[in-house]
Amino acid sequence: MQASPRFIDGLFRNTSGVGPNLKKGSTFPVMREFFFGGGRRVPVAPLPSVSPLEAWTKPSETGLRATWLGHSTLLLEIDGVRVLTDPVWSRRVSPSRLVGPRRFQPVPVPISQLPRLDAVIISHDHYDHLDYPSIVELIRQDVPFYTSLGVGAHLEAWGVPPERIHELDWWESAELPNADFRITAAPSQHFSGRAAADRNRTLWSSFALRGARHGAFFSGDTGLTTEYEEIARRLGPFDLVMLEVGAFHPAWGHIHLGPDNALQALKLLGGGSFLPVHWGTFDLAIHDWDQPAERLIELAPSLDTHLVMPMLGAAIEPSRIDGVEPWWRTISVLERREPAEHAKDAPDQLMPIGDPID
Residue 292 maps to a domain = yes
Strand residue runs (E) in the chain: 7-8, 11-12, 64-70, 73-78, 81-85, 119-122, 145-148, 165-168, 173-175, 182-186, 206-210, 215-218, 240-244, 273-277, 315-316
Residue 291 maps to a domain = yes
Any idea what the CATH number is for the domain that residue 306 is in? Answer: 3.60.15.10
In Å, the largest CA–CA distance within the chain is 58
What does the buried/exposed string (b/e) look like for 150-167 if buried means 16 or more CB atoms within 10 Å of the residue's CB? bbbebbeeeebeeebbbb
d(CA 63, CA 79): 5
Domain span including residue 241:
61-349
Mapping DSSP onto H, E and C, the string for 226-289 reads: CHHHHHHHHHCCCCEEEEECCCCCHHHCCCCCHHHHHHHHHHHCCCCEEEEECCCCECCCCCCC
**What are the Cα distances from residue 46, in Å, to 42, 239, 323, 325?**
10, 31, 24, 18
Residue 258 maps to a domain = yes
Stretches in the chain below the pLDDT threshold 70: 22-38, 336-358
Contacts 24+ apart (CB under 8 A), 110-113: 110/352, 110/353, 110/354, 110/355, 111/87, 111/137, 111/138, 111/355, 111/357, 112/137, 112/354, 112/355, 113/53, 113/354
Q: Tell me, what's the pLDDT at 30? A: 58
Count of domains for the chain:
1
Q: Tell me, what's the pLDDT at 37? A: 62
Residue 12 maps to a domain = no
> Using the 8-state DSSP alphabet, how is residue 3 labeled?
T
- Chain segment 320-354, per-residue pLDDT in tens: 999 999 999 999 778 766 554 444 444 433 333 23
Q: Tell me, what's the pLDDT at 333? A: 78
Q: Tell me, what's the pLDDT at 355? A: 33
> Using the 8-state DSSP alphabet, how is residue 48 labeled?
P
Q: Tell me, what's the pLDDT at 338? A: 59
Residue 275 maps to a domain = yes
Asked if 307 and 296 count as a contact pair (C-beta separation under 8 A), the reply is: yes
d(CA 211, CA 306): 21
Residue 27 maps to a domain = no
CA angle 118, 120, 123 (to 5 degrees): 150
Phi and psi dihedrals of 79, rounded to 5? 50, 45
For the chain, the straight-line distance linking the first and the last C-alpha, in angstroms and rounded, comes to 32
Q: Tell me, what's the pLDDT at 356? A: 30
d(CA 231, CA 233): 5
